[in-house]
Structure 1
Amino acid sequence: MRLLILCALVAAAAAWPNFGMMADSPGGVSDAQKQHDVNSILWKVYENIRDPHLTELSNSFDPLSGHYDDDGVSAKKLMKELNEHRLLEQKHWFSLFNTRQRQEALMLYDVLEHSTDWETFAGNAAFFRVRMNEGEFVYAIYAAVTHSPLTRHVVLPPLYEVTPHLFTNSEVIQAAYKAKMTQTAATIKSHFTGSKSNPEQRVAYFGEDIGMNTHHVTWHLEFPFWWDDAHEDHHIERKGESFFWVHHQLTVRFDAERLSNYLDPVDELHWDDMIYEGFAPHTMYKYGGYFPSRPDNVNFEDVDGVARVRDMLILESRIRDAIAHGYFAGRDGSVISIRDSHGIDILGDVIESSTYSPNPEYYGSLHNTAHIMLGRQGDPHGKFALPPGVLEHFETATRDPTFFRLHKYMDNIFREHKDSLTPYTKENLEFSGVSVNDITFSNRLETHFEEFEYSLINGVDDTTEVEDVPISARVDRLTHNDFTVKINIANNNDHEVLATVRAFAWPKYDNNHVEFSFNEGRWNAIEMDKFWVKLSPGENHILRSSKQSAVTVPDVPSFQTLIDKAEEALASGAELHLEEYHSSLGLPNRFLLPKGKSEGMDFHVVVFVSDGTKDGAVEGLHESTTFNHYGCHDGTYPDNQPHGYPLDRRVDDERIITGVSNFKAVDVKVYHVEEEH
């Protein structure tokens, strides 16, 4: 698994190799050529293809003549739908939560995923690019590039530069159109939605951050709820547990940002209570109108064709009942126990619900249906024929503050299950002969806002007769100064040991400056890092840069940078090196630290070192940085311990965990440096 424009040059087109001539990557075509083709197929996706060779392929390629590992079944199915005019028209909104639209996008995904050579993959991409709905096409390409062995080294361009409408305020898009019409280069300042009279405005920088939006949609591309083992080449281990953990981490990070801004932690949403916070998205579809708004203080209404409010209450009660009993009932009536460390995985599959759910007919799809229910509250009966709301797109969902209320509600359900498990004992937690003696930081922990610029070229209509002028948006985004953590660990054994180092942090005080108990704090713990290391006998001094964190990734290069690098590699015949970006499955590195406060905000930092031999599910973790924090490329998960271990279970007596030598805690302040005017 990985992370996570092109107005094609004539020289680049001439450089197109004969298929099979270059065999330095799966499919017989160079990584540079594949990167070039993916760039080209996603560039100006609402316009005509600009690359000459792909344009020719879009007219001449026959999908039924390609090479597939499913005997062409997927290609025949999609071609039948196309020829019988059943596919969604172009220039129409697309939502993955729309069942039919998702099915169509996945038809193309199946065709690409079953392609066994690059000629077939690229030919299908070009052919269907000009015949399918653009939103369905983009989703299928991103999903296929994420999962196909043919595209293992291809880096997807940032979605906010492919479909800028989903990430950019409408007033900025309108200004971009003006710049295009007048052929005037422009850099347009974008502001967060709302006003200072809305307290939620204080944390809009978190939910509306384009890196955060990209992280959310990337995770759901890597771990799609529609993934079906019967049609894929592997099982995704612990997918339900990862669903719990990634959203748990978004929720606790959001609460830390709220405390940084003198707000209380977010309250959970209730189906039989008001939705207190309204939301005006200030965003628009490329085609289909504006995203619907929602006023303050509205009660949930039934949504025609989706679900009734009472349906949601019934599903919730069935899931809570299963937690209380300690088991789910399978489709066949079997009893599926969840009273162990693997129960969270089943619960996550049920709540989402993914195809891995053992009984979706009975337990429903709480998460996915809730997103639609909440997204449609602006027009629940379809009276105004409004398009889907922001909650119905992974790209836009976190913009709405109720996203976090919704996930706090689900997080509390997960906590009910976790708190039902037996707490860890001292024997569970000890790592014989190993002690963490000291934790220090290289410098003061500081955050600040920086300006970030991204291209809007793909957001405006185009014609080959008029040259592009540079048009970009400039946004403020949270970041922090780099820092290094030094951890001193003593190995008192007479031999080398493999260790897993786990680091967490949580705000020390609530908004009333009351200190969190250890049990409350550990549930609100932000995962900072996890890595494996060999400990030599004696003292070990481990230095870990903030840039190395396993939970974060660097920014994806701009679309133009990816184009330039692919062109340079093709022109020179050199290999394309984008290894740093092969995995994009993580938070932006600059979000590792919460914002903090100008006077300093206290955080409790804990480091726990456990037996890496018992923890490691794959070999070589101490010397490899290529494994993904949420899993390896073949779907296996590298850690045998649960997400959040050892803080994932309730702590009735904190001395049990703080008393072992392989656990260490320190307090540290995070300072926010205000911008000087």
Structure 2
Amino acid sequence: MWTSAALLAGLVLTAASLPREADRYFQASEDFLRRQLQVMQMFLWQYDAQMYEPFAAILESYDLKDNLAHFKEDPEPARRLLALCEEGSLFPADKVFTLFESQPWVEARLLFDVFLGAADLDTFIKTAVWTRQRVNRGLFYHVFRTALAARPDSRDFYCPAAYETYPQGFLDERVIQRAVDAKIRALQTGDLRRVVVAANCSGRWDAGRDPEGALCYFREDVGLNTLSAEFHRQLPAWLNSSEHGSALPDRKGELFLHFHRQLLARYHLERLGNNLGETPHLREDMSLVGYYPHLRHSTGEQVTPRQPFSKIRDTERLTLSEYKDYVKRIQEAINVGYVIAENGTQVSLHGERGWNILGEMLAFVGDNINYNYYGSIYYKEMYLLGAGNEKRAPSALLHPETALRDPLYYQGLRTFFKEYYYKYLETLPKHTFDDVACSGLTIVNVDVDKLVTYFDNFDIDLFHVTGKGFKLEDNTLEVSARLERLNHQPFSYRVALTSDKDTDVIVKVYLTPKYDIHSRTLPMNKRIFYAFEIDRFPAKVTAGKNIIQRKSQNSTVAVGDPPTFKTMWKKVQDSLAGKDTLVMDKFARPYGFPQRLLLPKGTRAGLPVQLVVAVFPRQEADPTDPAAYHLDSFPLLGAGYDVKFPDRRPMSFPADRLYRSEYDARVPNIFTKEVRIFHKNIDEITAGTR
């Protein structure tokens, strides 16, 4: 019930058309390994004018205009790209690429069509090398990563973590400068011993004056920000399903809303552990929280800070009055229960596709039912909040890699949900007992290990900052940034339930807040709204008594740390030399929700929360192919390409609607247990394991 009562054994790599379980793993062939090496070489020194040496031959011999025959049925996108290059009208190479301007969106879609249209992998790689030297570098790498995941012949390749290939977007500029200084000293003195640069989060020192600074360890977590970047690459707002359906996840509008609701719920739990209340929602007249990101763009410009007491104001591209018009139209559509399509027809928001239509209208351009009328309000809101002085470099809010670092992002997100999502919830019929209860399924008890969190150290290799002039194989200079990050001890839970028959079920596990910071019990529907899903998995139960045991490490919501660039580089090189074997796992995703962050920090005395376990009969979208249940982080990143999301119910079910009463939530197939999350020092953790 919701109410109170060893190296790389196998990996890869991106969302993919899922194989059957029997075809899950494959051994990398020599051709695959050589291509994998090329892909990794593309990410070396991303923003340098000169490419990695092996590509020099391609740059000399390959010209796009001489290879139009190597594109599929339609070489027109390649022709248009050539024309833009010749005209010199591409998005300027010396400008910072963001997802909040129309010209980069148009060019991103064009470049994606070029990459997707390449008839084979060889043409794709050569065209990528050719375009890298001609288009805006930030735009190129955004689209290149998206295309690698979307093409059937390249989606199994490993893409290195963005915090390794471009750490300037994830680490304080002072850390980067200290790393560069260490390289200079090493070259001058010949002392090539390993250097570790401390990289504490930027706000913790000022948490006394600015309470939001206490959460910098969460907002600036490199794994969380990598997830944000990965999400926006897998669901690009500039694509539409009618032309690029195979390159987009199923139910992407609904997935957008579910992902961001989970992000807001997780952030709320973190606030509780730091004695902070609900995230404030924004008002037009309020002063904005200040933020100093201490980051630099690839152009060398500083990521624009925001002064305390700033105000939301008109920008050159969007005025407050125009923004309010979009808001009014969307809220009117929610109130009447239908949206007006571009052709003037009325499309209901209350059918099976209601959540998806709403999400696409709020956050997409390509599949927006009427973009000119409703706009893409998520992007418009973030642009208003993040534009600031448009004559300066973009702020952190205007990049998915950095937006989550800014406390204003979460305030904007809460306002977004208050204005649209929650208003939509209020128009839907409330859940009743019969909607959620499952006859014959009863959870008798849930047992869970003690929940303990701590901070540990994590090193980011800065070879992509300091390695120019060295070879990866030599490993002659190693400079790393050391971050302190939140982690938790592995835990297990056991669900005791009875069933009146043999059946296949889906199990969902949540953490929900029980109290506010004043120790008052939260209303039921607020607890449900802030329910953070920590696992979702299929199981088989038999008639009679059953025990389902589950480890936190097996969560389908979260993933562990990805392999490092150097680790993967060595693995590929050794496999090519016959000294090792690379085995790939088509179900693995390296950049989902971080496993370490499944639990909020908690407190020394133990943060009281509710562990909620819900069990339902499976309702599979494709009963013949349940493999999507096993794809890493599928509840947040979707089921991959050409694959239906495995559950036909709404993604947030049973938290997808308000409940009529407390009684209606007291169903036998949902069990709530109050637990506490304890925070300890790492010394206490290690002492306990001796």
Normalization by structure 1: what TM-score? 0.90
State the shift of 1:602 in Å.
0.9
Q: Superposition pairs for residues 336-351 of structure 1, below 5 Å?
A: 336-351=347-362
CA distance in 2, matches of 1:227, 1:186: 43
Q: Residues of 2 paired with 1:143 and 1:590: CA distance?
A: 26
Shift of 1:559: 1.2
CA distance, structure 2, for counterparts of residue 369 and residue 575 of structure 1:
48
The DSSP-based 3-state class of the residue aligned with 2:611 is strand
Which residue of structure 1 aligns with residue 255 of structure 2? 242
Which amino acid counterpart does residue 610 of structure 1 have in structure 2? F
* Structure 2 equivalent of residue 20 of structure 1: none
Q: What secondary structure is seen at the aligned counterpart in 1 of 2:648?
A: coil
Residue type at the aligned position of 1:124: T
Superimposed CA distance per residue, residues 406-435 of structure 1 (whole angstroms, 9 cap, x where no aligned partner): 100111120111122112233222322221
In structure 2, distance between residues paired with 1:227 and 1:39? 26
In the other structure, the counterpart of 2:55 is 54
Please say if 1:137 is aligned against 2:140: yes
Distance in 1 separating the partners of 2:563 and 2:101: 31
Gaps of 5+ in 2: 1-11, 16-24, 187-191, 685-690
Indicate which of 398, 410, 413 corresponds to 2:416: 410
Is the partner of 1:293 in helix, strand or coil? Answer: coil
Q: Which moved more, 1:510-519 or 1:420-429?
A: 420-429
Aligned counterparts of 2:29 and 2:490: Cα–Cα separation in 1: 41
In structure 2, how many angstroms separate the alpha carbons of the residues matched to 1:585 and 1:188? 24
Is 1:282 paired with 2:291? Answer: no
Q: 2:377 aligns with which of 341, 366, 374?
A: 366
Residues 101, 26 of structure 1: alpha-carbon distance in 2 compared, 3 angstrom cutoff: farther
Q: Per the alignment, in what secondary structure is the counterpart of residue 298 of structure 1?
A: coil
Determine if contact 2:273/2:600 at 8 Å carries over to the other structure: yes
Letter of the 1:201 counterpart = G
Match of 1:97 in 2: 100
CA distance in structure 2 between the partners assigned to 1:366 and 1:524 by the alignment: 23
Q: Is the 8 A contact 1:344 1:417 kept in 2?
A: no
Q: Partners in 1 of 2:629 and 2:363 — Cα distance?
A: 32
Match of 2:22 in 1: none
Q: Does 1:214 align with 2:226?
A: yes
Q: Which residue of 2 aligns with 1:485?
A: 493
Q: Does 1:334 align with 2:345?
A: yes
1:258 aligns with 2:271: yes
Of 534, 541, 544, 1:528 maps to: 534
Report whether the alignment pairs 1:621 with 2:630. no
Q: Is the 8 A contact 2:219 2:404 kept in 1?
A: yes
**Which of 200, 208, 216 matches 1:191?**
200
Q: Tell me the amino acid that sits aligned with residue 550 of structure 1.
A: T
CA-CA distance at 1:134 after TM superposition:
1.9
Q: Flag the 1:582–1:155 CA change in 2: closer, same or farther, 3 A.
A: farther
Does 72-81 or 510-519 show the bigger shift?
72-81
The one-letter code of the counterpart of 1:419 is E
- 1:318-347 per-residue CA deviation (whole Å, 9 max, x = no partner) reads 111111111111112211111245322111
User: Do the aligned residues in 1 keep the contact of 2:14 with 2:156 (CA within 8 Å)?
Assistant: no
Match of residue 175, structure 1, among 175, 178, 195: 178
Q: Distance in 2 between matches of 1:459 and 1:422?
A: 55
Q: 1:567 to 1:221 in 2, by over 3 A?
A: same
Letter in 2 for 1:530: R
Compare 392-401 and 73-82 and name the one that shifted more.
Answer: 73-82
AA partner of residue 407 (structure 1):
L
Instruction: State whether residues 533 and 622 of structure 1, in contact with CA within 8 Å, keep that contact through their aligned partners in structure 2.
Output: no
* Distance apart, 1:25 and its partner CA: 9.0
- 3-state DSSP of counterpart to 1:404: helix
Q: Which residue of 1 aligns with 2:654?
A: 646
Structure 1 counterpart SS, 2:459: strand
How well do the aligned residues superpose, as a CA RMSD in angstroms? 2.5
Tell me which amino acid in the other structure corresponds to 2:431: Y
Following the alignment from structure 1 to structure 2, what is the Cα–Cα distance between the partners of residues 128 and 573? Answer: 35
Mapped to 1, the partners of 2:580 and 2:459 lie a distance apart of 29
Cα distance in 2, alignment partners of residues 433 and 587 from structure 1: 34
Tell me which moved more, 590-599 or 483-492: 483-492
Conserved 8 A contact 2:156-2:586: no
Separation in 1, partners of 2:664, 2:620? 20
- Counterpart-to-counterpart distance in 1, 2:640 and 2:86: 39
Q: 1:325 to 1:38 in 2, by over 3 A?
A: same
Bigger relative CO (Cα 8 Å, ≥ 6 apart): 2
Q: Judging changes above 3 Å, is the alpha-carbon distance between structure 1 residues 435 and 599 closer, same or farther for their aligned structure 2 residues? A: same
Take 2:32 and 2:426, find their aligned partners in 1: how far apart are those partners?
A: 48
Question: CA offset at residue 396 of structure 1?
Answer: 0.4
Asked if the contact 1:288–1:387 (Cα under 8 Å) also holds between the matched residues in 2, the reply is: no
From the superposition, tell whether residues 576 and 108 of structure 1 become closer, same or farther in structure 2 (CA, over 3 Å): farther
CA distance in 2, matches of 1:668, 1:325: 42
- Match status 1:269 vs 2:282: yes
Tell me how far apart the structure 2 counterparts of residues 583 and 32 of structure 1 sit (CA, whole Å).
19
What secondary structure, in the 3-state scheme, does the structure 2 residue paired with 1:299 have? coil
Q: CA deviation at 1:70?
A: 3.6
Equivalent of 2:509 in 503, 506, 519: 503
Question: Is 1:74 paired with 2:77?
Answer: yes
How far apart are 1:402 and its partner, in Å? 0.5
Deviation at 1:675, TM superposition (A): 4.6
Name 2:677's counterpart in structure 1: 670
Q: Which among 452, 455, 479 is matched to residue 471 of structure 1?
A: 479
Is the 1:28–1:118 contact (alpha carbons within 8 Å) kept by the matching residues of 2? no
TM-aligned CA deviation for residue 623 of structure 1: 9.5
Q: CA shift at 1:186, angstroms?
A: 2.2
Residues of 2 paired with 1:359 and 1:243: CA distance?
18
Equivalent position amino acid for 1:193 in 2: S
C-alpha distance in 1 between matches for 2:330 and 2:538: 36
Q: Which amino acid aligns with 1:671?
A: F
Distance 1:182 1:3 in 2: 39
Q: Does 1:634 align with 2:642?
A: yes
Letter in 1 for 2:56: T
Gaps of 5+ in 1: 5-23
Say which is worse superposed, 75-84 or 594-603, in terms of deviation. Answer: 75-84
Pair 1:164 & 2:167 matched: yes
The CA distance in 2 between the partners of 1:90 and 1:25, in whole Å, is 40
**What's the TM-score, normalizing by structure 2?**
0.89
Shift of 1:464: 6.2
Alignment partners' CA distance in 2, 1:45 and 1:471: 18
Decide whether the 8 Å contact of 2:13 with 2:159 is kept in 1.
Answer: no
- TM-superposed deviation, 1:29: 7.2
**SS of residue in 1 equivalent to 2:626:** coil
Conserved in 2, the CA contact under 8 Å of 1:48 and 1:130? yes
Moved more, 92-101 or 196-205: 92-101
- Identical amino acids, percent of aligned pairs: 27
* Distance change >3 Å, CA 262–CA 624, structure 1 → 2: closer
Q: Which residue of 1 aligns with 2:45?
A: 44
Distance in 1 between residues matched to 2:127 and 2:270, nearest whole Å: 44
- 1:33 maps to 34
1:9 alignment counterpart: none
**Partner of 2:319 in structure 1?**
308
8 Å contact kept, 1:632–1:638: no
Whether contact under 8 Å (1:26, 1:150) holds in the other structure is no
Where does residue 157 of structure 2 map in the other structure? 154
